[in-house]
Amino acid sequence: MRYVAILAIVAVVPGPSAAQEPKPLKTLRIQQAAPGATELFVVDDDGTVRIDWEKVETLARLKTDRIALPTAQVMLAIRDRTWKPMK
């Protein structure tokens, strides 16, 4: 009787491989910034990226826009070569 109960539990509970499968991600391409959002950079039609470094530095220093702040900090870290990729 014990073996039947154990087999029933094992059959119902999903294995560890099912629980550890990565979740699918959906990538969205943003065509326009949200109204009122801080524009730190602009992508021209030819693919050229123009960065407003004065806005980036001011935002990183004053920390006024909490949504754009992480982006500004990463942009400065990449520019200053202090950014290190995760291993």
Q: Which residue is listed with tokens 């969205």?
A: 28
Whether 17 is in a domain gets the answer no
Q: Is residue 16 part of a domain?
A: no
Q: CB–CB of 83/74 below 8 Å? A: yes
User: What pTM was computed for the model?
Assistant: 0.55
Count: domains in the chain: 1
Element (H, E) at 43: strand 41-43
Is residue 38 one of the residues assigned to a domain? yes
Instruction: Pick the closest to residue 67 from 43, 32, 38 (CA basis).
Output: 38
Determine, yes or no, domain membership for 5: no
78 vs 60: CA distance, rounded Å? 13
Q: Is residue 40 part of a domain?
A: yes
pLDDT values of the chain reduced to their tens digit, one per residue, 87 residues: 555 555 555 555 565 555 567 778 777 776 666 666 678 888 888 988 899 999 999 999 999 888 889 989 989 998 998 987 766
